[in-house]
Amino acid sequence: MGSAYRVIVDENNAPWISGDDAYRFDRDTEEFEEVGLGAGGFGFVGGIASDGEGSIWVGTYTDGQYVHRIANDDTLEHHTVDTPGVSTFGTAVDFDRHAWTFGYNDGTAAAIDLDTETVEHVFDTCNGPCLNMPYVRGDITGLQRRNALNPTGTFTRLVEGCDSGADTEWGRIVIDADTPAGSNLVVSVKTADDLGALAAMEWLTVGIVPDDGTELDLAAALERAGVEPGHYLSVQVRLQSLDRVTSPTLRRVDVQWGCEGMIE
């Protein structure tokens, strides 16, 4: 690999570097794959961004009115998309399916539709350019961060049952959360009479929110699985972004259980 200029991590957890060319790092072989864009007159290509849907976008180093679009697959095939009026430099992709590129010397930008590759020249209505030498080099929309991060988060709560020697009857798990389309919560438990045994237990899925509702029948799930209720209950909630854009919000996890006829 030659000179390095910008770096991102794509939705497949593969690092990319732009510099004298664009390069993808193969974690299996621990080698860089060169795309073959060819550096411009300054010896560099420009900013780099992943759209999270199979393409990598790379600008020029202000010496061309176009961007490169690279197929993020085994072929690494690429073509250019013209950006009239914008000598491209930095690049970004937003959450509304547009690739952006900015003209450092032009003071304007181009927004490119990911599906049609139609280009809109923007920031040019201020009696001329609206931007003053836009040196875009970071993740200005947040999508690169979203691509690179694990789309699953985990919340775990430990609950101790009856302290009087009586058996604990685990009843329900009640979830207070927002799960917009494209996200969900997977609720799992394990139960045992001591913490050492609890740690060794496998997780048992009780339900998925919103598909199974927000009040999950824990007692029925344990009975179906043939799991004997123990003194301790560990509850795990996995927060999942299914589309890598939408995120769920978990506010509260309540466990209802019985002890000597009392409901806690």
CATH of the domain at 236: 2.60.120
Residues 144, 259 within the same domain: no
pLDDT (average), residues 15-28: 94
Instruction: Quote the pLDDT of residue 261.
Output: 58
Structural domain that includes position 258: 152-263
Structural domains of the chain, count:
2
Measured between alpha carbons, how far is 114 from 232 in angstroms, rounded to an integer? 51
pLDDT (average), residues 192-201: 95
Report the percentage of the chain scoring pLDDT > 70: 97
Residues 186, 209 within the same domain: yes
> Per residue, what are the HEC states of 210-263?
CCCCCEEEHHHHHHHHCCCCCCEEEEEEEEEECCCCCCCEEEEEEEEEEECCEE
Measured between alpha carbons, how far is 131 from 118 in angstroms, rounded to an integer? 22
List the one residue out of 64, 126, 116, 117 whose CA is nearest residue 89.
Answer: 64
Instruction: Quote the pLDDT of residue 136.
Output: 85
Instruction: Quote the pLDDT of residue 138.
Output: 76
Residues 79, 65 within the same domain: yes
pLDDT (average), residues 11-19: 93
Q: Which of 148, 171, 204 is the last residue of a domain?
A: 148
Residue 264 has pLDDT above 70, yes or no: no
pLDDT (average), residues 246-259: 94
CA distances from residue 226 to 126, 222, 223, 251 in whole angstroms, order as listed: 70, 6, 5, 30
User: What's the pLDDT band for 137 if we cut at 50, 70, 90?
Assistant: confident
Give the predicted TM-score (pTM) of the model. 0.71
Residues 129, 17 within the same domain: yes
Q: Which of 127, 148, 169 is the last residue of a domain?
A: 148
Burial of 143 (C-beta count, 10 Å sphere; 0-12/13-18/19+): buried
Residue 41 has pLDDT above 80, yes or no: no
Q: Which of 148, 181, 215 is the last residue of a domain?
A: 148
Q: In what order do the strands lie in the sheet with 4-9?
A: 4-9, 15-19, 22-26, 31-34
Give the type of residue at 160: E
Give the type of residue at 217: D
Instruction: Quote the pLDDT of residue 262.
Output: 59
Q: Please provide the average confidence, as pLDDT, over all residues in the chain.
A: 92
